[in-house]
Structure 1
Amino acid sequence: MKNKNVSNRRIVSVGQILVWVVIFAAAVFFFNNPGSKPAVLDYSDFKQKVSVGEVSNLTVAPGVISGLYKNEKGEFAKFKTVRMEDPKLVEELAAGKIKFKAEQDNSWIGNILFNLMWIVLLIGFWWFVFIRPQRSDGKSAMNFARSKAKMQDPSKQTVTFKDVAGCEEAKEELEDVIKFLKNPKKFQKLGGKLPKGVLLYGAPGTGKTLLAKAVAGEAGVAFFSASASEFVEMFVGVGAARVRDLFDQAKKNSPAIIFIDELDAVGRRRFAGIGGGHDEREQTLNQLLIELDGFESKQGIILMASTNRPDVLDPALIRPGRFDRHISVPAPDLKGREEILAVHAKKVKLAPEVDLKMVAKGTPGFVGADLANVINEAAILAARADKEAVSTADLDEAVERVIAGPQKKSRIISQKEQHIIAAHECGHTIVARLTNHSDPVHKVTIIPRGQALGYTLQLPLEDKFLTSKSEILDKICILLAGRAAEQIVFGEITSGASDDLNKATAYARKMVVELGMSDKIGPIALPNGDDSEVFLGRDLSRHKTYSEELARNIDAEIVDLMKSSYERAQEIILTNRAAFDVLVKTLLEKEVVEANEIDAILGLKPAAQETPAPKGADSAPKPAQEAAQEQQPKAPKAERPEAKQAELF
């Protein structure tokens, strides 16, 4: 009903505007129509017409004489002429028997009314087009500088911390903000001040926006939400004006929370481009800095913002005094994943045999959005099969759909290519199962999913936060095992290993350049620049900090790592060739081989320990190798954790 009333108001407004436009156009046409204008005669011509009797119906006013005259066509038409001092004019008119009348000078009144009419028309047009819509629903042409942030009614905010799981540390940090908003005097009596800004950062889908909504729901205060991209427009100064308007609205409704999503859209480092121009985005950022910590800082207002890239934000924006708290929202651990699944499964009917803890174990690296998608996909699959409840099989299929995409059952693949795909995937499987530092193999399949023609699924037994050198070497070896298997079985390689080669090369380069895991290069970290510098201006000004000789040594070390890992993969497959052939045959027959059947075929033989590994790639970890572990980054990148990815063909 509300939408219908709004539509009716808009129709009425448009109709009124059209009426005023028609009136305005008619007035302009009437006063500018050449046919309605009288001809202007010289006074001498007028006297000549009087003498021959070619004028009639004269109106004699103090300054002008008007009436009808006979024109060149012999027709009577309107005319006017300026009156001059002529005492004999009345006598001549009487002698010629010409009708005339006298009139007082009222021309100044007509001029005033004429000018007032235009003013009234312009004021009326302005009021109906600009002022009236602004008073009714705020959608006028002059409102482009107003903030587009949406204010949430505190009484209608139903999201609380009960709806958020998997990030207990972040919730604890935010509880102080809630307590301060509810009882500021408790902190102020000890000299504490309300935090001005809270920055939530983490990978996409970890629940940053949901946390902000939960804070507003718990505190019960006004909540303004906006996207950072809504501030910047094509008009100069609009972004800064919208920031001012947003904080003014929050001040009127204080205490209040302002939430800006994707802060990096306006908060990127200033003077990062060529020439360091002061563009519209930087004006918006400057206004945001002033509002957060200027001379007229607002009281009772907390700015919450979220970003996937805290490393690209301007240092002046994220310093203490503006964003006082930086809260990391990481990917959930095993317990957190189980809690998130339980939250999303409340509205879904699950079968009695479903164990969410087992589902959580099979989804390492999944974030909250992925887990919500798993529950939703499982419910859709169960409904498609006309089931009464969601089963474990539906959840397993949903997990695989999130990892690798839906099955491509209609894709027709020739027997020769199926054999190549099976050999490729069995190469991954054999090496992954027989190396000591790799994640356990869950299954191998040649059923196409998404863009993959087949894949080997590995799932870790526990969450990992550090990676050893031996584990990375095993990853590289597993990635190259698919191509090694193709070379051994068919004597020829295909394009199916392109993605494996890209990943393996990236691992090798990271070991040498960033993690200091190369014996030849040594424990040093060199600037890579692939994702640390994201601005064109800095890309142009960056200078290489190491010599050409060191660059050649780095390239040679990366090549050696790739070659030694490839040879190691070939050696493992050749040593276990009989079991490899059986696994390929079984995979071609069944299309999917589970972990227990893989172990049965291999006889649980730890072949990797019996196989002599190349120098620098020992399968058994040494104490020095265990100490060289990958450090955690300071800020999470916007990418899916590696533990979640399967080896795809």
Structure 2
Amino acid sequence: MDKALVDNLDKFIFKLQGVSDQLKSARTGEFRRSKRNNAAIARKSATEYLSYCSLVRLFRKNIGCLSEPSCVAIFSVPRRWQLEDVHEAAKFILKGEKGVKLCVHPTSKHRRGWEVDPAELFSSGEKLIIFTHEGSAVHEDFELAATVCDQLQTCDVTHLRALSHLRGCGSLSEREAAVIAAQPSERMEAIFRPKRSAASAAAKLVSAKRQDGSGQARHLDVQRGFGEASTWAETLKRDLDDWRQGRLPWSEIDKGCLFFGPTGTGKTRFAAALAADCSMHLEAASVAQWQSFKDGDLGDLLKAMYKAFDAAKENAPSLLFIDEFDAIGDRAKFPSRHETYSTTVVNALLECLDGIVDREGVIVIGACNFPERIDPALLRSGRLEKHIHFPMPDAASRAEILAFHLPTLAAEASLKEIGTRLPGKSGADLERLGREARRRARREKRDVTILDLKAVIRPTPPLDAKTLYRVAVHEAGHAVIARALLLGKVEHVEIYDNVESFASLVDSHGTTLTKFHPSEFVTRWDTMKMITYNLAGAAAEDLVFGHRANWSSGTKESDLAVATQLAVQMVAEHAFGDSLFFLPGSIDRSNAAKLWEDLPLREEVGEILREQHQRAKEILDGLKPSLLKIADALVEQKRLDARQLEAYWPRGTKTPAAANH
């Protein structure tokens, strides 16, 4: 838009108002303005000039409604733009004309109520124009009285180019104008310094964004590649758009969500990207931050907690992200010496999450590794009601994560193969690999290549024949027990020599995939059989070699860990042990130290594990020919599917161990 067109913006108002006067008799002249000196406005304030141009366009668009004697207009302003700038521009356009009142709406509703009185503004019968931030809650009385609602579109490309011309800042391309348009109003004076290149400022903004990596989270596609989380993100974004447009009440939107899963699976990054994708303010906090506030006593912690929620309300619509949410704890499990303190913290958080205080426009997301440690009241409907698991990424997801952190290598065909060869790596692990690859290329002052990525990946050593056979015996043990105890269908068994075959699902030397029979209830014998199945690999090694390797233990997902958890659950939760007591929540199965201190429980669990390990050995000893044949076939073929395994199952009836139960 050239200077002549800028100078004539108001003329459109006069023409359209003339037409409006002819169509409707009840018209007033508040918006009839004489020609203004746009150059003078631009020299005075960049933000006022841009606000002025945007308001002129908005007034022109709604001239018919604005000319009505009792008009109440609600105009929403982008959150990056200060309401005071728009208010000053509106006062300049109207020049204190009688018959029109301007109101800057509060950004949030405080505990004492709204800090604005609609009745006082309505009492004079004058026209009322209300400016509010986009997506913010508006006083119910204003919404009832509104005759027109519209959005102020700031930083139009033509307005930016006109401002640059009037301030002697040179010309702007479409791309440069788009970069500037995304900036908050506070930066406009720095960008449009008189006689300085605005294009140069835009280039600096792009460069700064690349250096600090701030653009990555905004470009992370949360609506694909994250399974259930992506589905929820898509629904939430659609619901928020409907809420902003007034088509959906806040009561219909999910109030909160819990992200849980292993460390490094991208829960924090996903939350930040979700806030950007939904155009929400991100307020980040953690229980540790609240505890470290000032002196860290109970009063200081509660003040920090309330402050985080108040900040989220002030900037609504916003996403309040609370990291390490499981640190809040469970009121039923607090030690007596900390019970009063910890219970008060949980109760205060419950009040913040709902209670009598409204938090419209605020989505709360908690992230943790151990959801079982959280007080159940925090996770019920109306609070963190949605629970989404973030698993370790699979082969396809690992390739996508690497492509995200190394975008110049996204088209490389070998990137997918590399992702397949990194089982057990979390999103954080893959981000580190990308960082190391870029550092390697930076040292040699060149662009990163696929060779840089391969160079920073530690290759898995190949297995010798002796070790490979032991792995085959271990996996064959799981398969034979699954078949003997009729647990379900063994889909496949495979081992990895790291030469011809490689692990892609989990970081292990072999896997047995069994599709278990579904059941609506669990019996004592069902649980016993699952324990036997999990101990079968170790039992097979003991049977064939006289001792076992450490493959059955060492991690929370290992065979022995799963078997132990099942045994604890049998005794403490299902009353399948020697006693019939039931104390819900009395045992924290994720806390190994506490389990070790409970001597009666430890002895009973140990007895169950020894009994089922011996049962597995006895069953495998009776089916040893099948066990060894499957192991030999695995060493040769590396993988056996359900159809191939049929040839190795023993013919005839059930085994005695399975038939007796």
TM-score by length of 1: 0.48
TM-score by length of 2: 0.47
